[in-house]
Amino acid sequence: MNMMNVLLIEDNPDNALLENNLKKRGFKVLKTRHNAMFLTLIKEIKPDVVIFNLETPSEKILTDLHSLNHQWALPVIMFARDDNIDTINQAIKAEVSAFIVEGDENNRINSIIKVASASFRHQQLLKNELEEVRAKLENRKQVDQAKAILIKTQNFTEDQAYHKLRKLAMDRNITLSEMAKNVIAMAELLK
């Protein structure tokens, strides 16, 4: 049993084909129509994956997906009958994990969910790595700026400035970047 929680958003609430197929494969399904409470519902039920089964995604759905990815970031699968390239591009920009055109693809739903979830996890990993690299770069810039301040005000060499920053950080039991921020802040105060 998969026991993944799936939020299924369908245009036609009478269509039970995809819902029944998901349940048959062991997914726990909550089916609804898209409405103004979409983001609140996501927050309350915390699904593992969101699946849309639509004729075409509305502008409101795409806007909600942008918000969703910034607030709770979930794998999103969208089945649509609209194969217009603009619609597909808008869905991709809304960070849809999988966009499947023409029908429910009921025989492949397990694989589609697994691929979308794996793709989503990979994208999240890349985003996290990018944020780490940005943070390291920002810290490095601050250390360089603090060294430049020490070089200018204390007539240190670059190596001496680095070792002084490092010693100050160790003496205060703080990170090198925190010490650099302190040096920069102090220099700003003394201007």
Residue 172's domain spans which residues? 130-189
Q: Do 91 and 144 sit in the same domain of this protein?
A: no
Q: Do 29 and 72 sit in the same domain of this protein?
A: yes
Q: What is this structure's pTM?
A: 0.63
Domain boundary among 70, 104, 138: 104
pLDDT of residue 70: 82
Quick check: 50 pLDDT over 90? Answer: yes
Question: What average pLDDT does the segment 98-113 reach?
Answer: 68
Quick check: 85 pLDDT over 90? Answer: no
Check which CATH number belongs to the domain holding 87 and give it.
3.40.50.2300
pLDDT above 90 covers what percent of the chain? 53
In the block, which residue shows the tokens 């979830």? 117
pLDDT of residue 11: 87
Number of domains in the chain: 2
Q: How sure is the predictor about 93, in pLDDT bands with cuts at 50, 70 and 90? A: confident
pLDDT in tens, 114-145: 757 767 877 888 889 999 999 999 999 999 99
Answer with the residue of higher pLDDT: 67 or 123.
67
